[in-house]
Amino acid sequence: MNLDFTPEQEQLRIDVRRHIEAELPASVQQKVRRGEFLDKHEVVNWQRSLNQRRWAAPHWPREYGGLSLRSVDKLIIQEELYRACAPMPLVFNVDMLGPVVLRFGTDAQKQDLLPRLANADLWFCQGFSEPDAGSDLASLRTRARREGDHYIVDGQKIWTTHAHLADWIFALVRTDLDTKPQRGISFLLIDLKSPGVVVRPITTIDGQHHLNEVFFDNVKVPVSQRVGDEGQGWDCAKYLLSNERTGIARVGYCRERLQHARDLLQRRLAVGLREVEAEDILIDVATLEAELRGLELMNWRFMYSQEAARGVPAHASMLKLKGVELQQDIASLLMRISGHEGLRRPAPQDWTDIDGLQTATSRYLYSRSVSIYGGATEVQKNIIAKTLLD
Amino acid sequence: MEFDLSDEQRAFADSLSRFLQERYTFEHRRSAVRDQTDETTWRDISALGVPSLLVPASAGGFGGVASDLLSVCEAFGRTLVLQPLLPGCVMSTVALASAAISPEVHALLERMAVGEARVGWAHHEARLDAPLTTQARRSGEGKWLLDGTKVHVLYGARADAILVSASEDDDTGRTGLFLVDATLPQVRRMAHTLVDDTPAADIELQSCPALRLDVDTNETIDRVALWGTFASCAEAVGVMEAALQLSRTHLGQRQQFGQALSAYQSLRHRIAEMAADLEICRALAVGAAVALEGLTSTGDVSLPQARLRIAQAWQVTSRLSLRVCETAVQLHGGIGMTEEYPVGGLLRRVVCLNHLFGQGRQLARQLAHMTAAIAA
């Protein structure tokens, strides 16, 4: 047994770290650290900078702009990005849609889409959830009728993260009403500028605009924009959801947040936080660091040991379950550290002048979503229990 | 990175597991507790080579490392074996191995390797967080004599020899580690049983002749504690495995309101939580083993770093193993409360381990201090 990285892995870490130091604008870094929204061009420019080194989609094959990196090596890149508060490459582009196109797409789709996804020339959002189809995704009702070489799409998606920034949406739509629910679903790529598409903001409990509703009213979508066969959408969705496991535990993110907690605590001490209170908080930080170490080791173990991964079929659900618990506990701790500083609700125009203390409560509030999206905690428990009891 | 056991380690783990599963049944354990005797198990696990694992090869042992111990402790945890693995084959062996150059210690290690000698570990005293009250002084002929009382010496009543920490009654004020022949009349042993059925003894020494180990005592006691904590992490993983396994079986078999308990979502979710807790602890135990190995062999882990890694592992494992075993009792309902059913024994075991190796907020405070010390 050993927990050593190879010299090649250490070199990759150094290379990524140097690239970030040289290329990441300090203003972007500060925004990410305090949780402020980035301008679209900041996200896009950063992803292009990463893509020049093939680090935007490093797990893709070389012929499509990646490095065919194993997930354990991709994790090293992710951790360095989190550590430096650099923006992640667009997850819907490179971790969700990209792998689906690679697996189910036509050659033409691969040639056309993959370079643009990696380079953030196209920004995709995800259209899965609907008002009556949340955790029970297969009950979705957005309808796509075939008319010649087009589909006509009618319906509504909800909780669509960043639809207001995105150029396109990949959506699950119902193409067949007469078969069993899973078999009647197809996977469509839709230009959000198409006539009949309306995006409306949803303000969340943190007072911010992350989420949207997306309405489709007689939207014309070429059949060539379907990925996979008609009726294969459910397979695409399952593949997509099972595919993104590398970062599911978000270890690097948690580590940066705990470092942030230590920094904020110093600042609070400077303005008169009592030593005894600070000591109490440091005990909680140390406890969460121990839990984070457990999460990191569990993540590594399932990535490096095929035997471990095979022995625990629901390990991705365990990583999600434990990862979100920790993220939420850390967000609570940060809020506790911020004290009264986090009480005032920041108006959007205030964000540039404030720091991590004032945003801690907003971020705590939004952190409640991590156990809801991407397979709610209760769904993950169902998945784990099924492997142990049925 | 490598998280799997070697083929050799796996083969050893499999044969030990199989042996314990077949021979060390819960009924066997109950009768051992009832009759206060079980000589066959020690003989058999000695024949399998368990006591030799950490004995240096020069003394006829296996000269093993932490990962060699991992699956052994897990197997002991799964079956709740009442044998002195932790104090004898781990803690005392680690302490004696660093003094193996002495002919007496070397000879003792040779006997320990084949199971002929069992050595207890007597460090704790009744007064918490205070300087040791057990005193070591020189007799007229220059031999060491010990006076004092040690508490909760695990398997102390049947040990052949005991390692005792004592403060030396000279100008240095040093602490020393001393080897005592447990059968001497100057050793008074008051046997009792811990809540998890582990036999223990309070040990009173009166002008008891002893051999001082030629080791850096504080470093050795520190290292023994690290090994003990690591072994507890690994054993707790085995206990949790058994708790999960018993609960899965029970939920599948027990019918209430016309269906198996395994049909109820609230109970299914408890099983899922237990399984996730177990996997976290399993990974942490590997991390603790690697931290110990880095300390002893290649030397690329510093002592404070290893101490932090092992303390982190135990901080999480102590809490989660308790939670898992409490849940297992809950899922079993009334039968889980009975002494004749193993699930309560699992809970009793982790309660004891938590008392012995630290738990809760106190442990977390130590963690915070360790982190601060490393950062400074």
Contact across the interface for A293 and B309, Cβ inside 8 Å: yes
A287–B275 CB contact, under 8 Å = no
Q: Which of B82, B140, B125, B115 is nearest to B348 (CA)?
A: B82
pTM value surpassing 0.90: yes
Please check whether residue B275 touches A, CB under 8 A. Answer: yes
Q: Which two tokens stand for residue A13?
A: 């870490």
Read off the DSSP letter of residue A95: I
- The single-letter DSSP state of residue B142 is S
Instruction: Give the distance from residue B287's alpha carbon to the nearest chain A alpha carbon, in angstroms.
Output: 7
Q: Which two tokens stand for residue A95?
A: 């971790």
Q: Which residue among B4, B316, B368 places its CB closest to the CB of A291?
A: B316
B316 to chain A, closest Cα gap in Å: 6
Q: What is the distance in angstroms between the Cα of B263 and the nearest Cα belonging to chain A?
A: 9
Q: What local confidence, expressed as pLDDT, does residue A244 receive?
A: 64
Whether residue A293 and residue B272 make contact (CB cut-off 8 A), yes or no, is no
Minimal CA–CA distance to B81: which of B359, B358, B361, B346? B346
Chain B residues close to A283, C-beta within 8 Å:
361, 364-365, 367-368
Does the distance separating the beta carbons of A305 and B3 come in below 8 Å?
Answer: yes
Render pLDDT for A177-223 as a digit per residue (tens, 0 to 9).
999 888 999 999 999 999 999 999 999 999 889 999 999 999 999 99
**CA A129, CA A136: separation in Å to the nearest integer?**
9
CB pairs under 8 A between A and B: 136
> What does the alpha-carbon distance between residue B208 and residue B146 come to, in Å, rounded to a whole number?
5
Q: Which residues 6+ apart lie within 8 Å of B219 measured at CB?
A: none
Tokens, residue B347: 């809970």
Radius of gyration of chain A (CA): 22
Give the closest residue to A261 by CA, choosing from A322, A328, A323, A336: A336
How far, in Å, are A86, A340, A344, A351, A384 from residue A357 at the CA level? 19, 9, 11, 12, 37
The pLDDT value given to residue A34: 86
SS3 of A269, please?
Answer: helix
ipTM: 0.95
- Asked if B167 contacts B131 with a C-beta cutoff of 8 angstroms, the reply is yes
* Cα separation, B104 vs B55, whole angstroms: 14
Closest CA to A50 of A7, A101, A13, A86: A86
Contact criterion met (CB below 8 Å) for A283 and B361: yes
Reported in sequence order, the residue ranges of B61-198 that DSSP labels E, i.e. its strands, are 119-122, 135-138, 144-154, 161-168, 175-181, 187-193
Digit-by-digit pLDDT tens for chain B (376 residues) are: 999 999 999 999 999 999 999 999 999 999 999 988 898 999 999 999 999 999 999 999 999 999 999 999 999 999 999 999 999 999 999 999 999 999 999 999 999 999 999 999 999 999 877 889 999 999 888 899 999 999 999 999 999 999 999 999 877 779 999 999 999 999 999 999 999 999 999 999 999 999 999 999 999 999 999 999 999 999 999 999 999 999 999 999 999 999 999 999 999 999 999 999 999 999 999 999 999 998 865 556 788 899 999 999 999 999 999 999 999 999 999 999 999 999 999 999 999 999 999 999 999 999 999 998 888 8
B368 CB neighbours in chain A (<8 A) are: 279, 282-283, 285-286
Closest residue in B to A305 (Cα) is B3
Nearest to B286 among A1, A289, A322 (CB): A1
Token code pair at residue B274: 């237990």
Q: Which residue has the tokens 């395994």?
A: B262
Residue A354 CB-half CA count within 13 A: 23
What confidence score (pLDDT) does residue B299 get? 58
Model pLDDT for residues A119-159, shown as the tens digit of each residue:
999 999 999 999 998 888 889 999 999 999 999 999 999 99
Q: Which residues, listed in sequence order, are joined to residue B204 by a DSSP beta bridge?
A: B149, B188
Instruction: Kindly state the DSSP code that residue B90 receives in the 8-state scheme.
Output: I
pLDDT band (50, 70, 90) for residue A243: confident
Yes or no: say if A96 and A66 are a contact pair by the CB < 8 Å rule: no
Nearest chain A CA: its distance from B313 CA (Å)? 7
Distance from CA of A349 to the nearest CA of B (A): 38
Whether A389 shows a pLDDT value over 90: the answer reads yes
- Which of A297, A312, A315 is opposite residue B286, by nearest beta carbon? A297
Characterize B98-111 residue by residue with b for buried, 16 or more Cβ atoms within 10 angstroms of its Cβ, and e for exposed. bbbebeebbebbbb
Percentages of chain B per state (helix, strand, coil), in multiples of 5: 60, 15, 25
Strand partners, A150: A147, A222
| A114, A64 contact by CB (below 8 A) | yes
Question: CB–CB of A298 and B368 under 8 A?
Answer: no
| Record: contact B283-A294, CB cut-off 8 A | yes
SS (H, E, C) A69-84: CCHHHHHHHHHHHHHC
Q: Dump pLDDT digits (tens) for A27-57.
A: 999 999 988 889 999 999 999 999 999 999 9
Closest approach of B376 to chain A, Cα-based (Å): 14
**Does the pLDDT at position A321 exceed 90?**
yes
Angstrom distance (rounded) from CA A323 to CA B285: 19
What is the predicted pLDDT for the residue at B111?
98
- CA dist A225 and A217 (Å) reads 18
Query: Which has the closest alpha carbon to A321: A295, A297, A300?
Result: A295
User: Do residues A118 and A56 make contact, with C-beta atoms less than 8 angstroms apart?
Assistant: yes
Residue A358 to residue A353: CA distance in whole angstroms? 10
Helix segments in B216-302, DSSP class H: 217-253, 265-293
H-only helix segments in A53-150: 71-83, 91, 98-104, 107-118
Nearest-Cα residue of chain A relative to residue B365: A283
Residues of chain B neighbouring A1 (CB-CB closer than 8 A): 2-5, 67, 286, 289-290, 293
- pLDDT the model gives residue A353: 64
Which residues lie below 8 Å from residue B356, measured CB to CB, with a gap of 6+?
B152, B228, B232
Tell me which DSSP letter residue B88 carries.
I
Q: Which residues of B touch A282 (CB under 8 A)?
A: 368, 371-372
Q: Record the tokens describing residue A250, joined without a space.
A: 């978000």
What is the C-alpha to C-alpha distance for residues B244 and B281, in angstroms, rounded to an integer? 13
Tell which B residues from 58 to 77 touch A, by Cβ distance under 8 Å. Answer: 67
Q: What number of other Cβ atoms are within 10 A of residue A128's Cβ?
A: 22
* pLDDT of amino acid B280: 98
* Alpha-carbon torsion, ordered A311, A316, A317, A319, to 10 deg: 100
Tokens of B351: 């309660």
User: Cβ B269–A389 below 8 Å, yes or no?
Assistant: no
The shares of helix, strand and coil residues in chain A, as percent rounded to the nearest 5, are 55, 15, 30
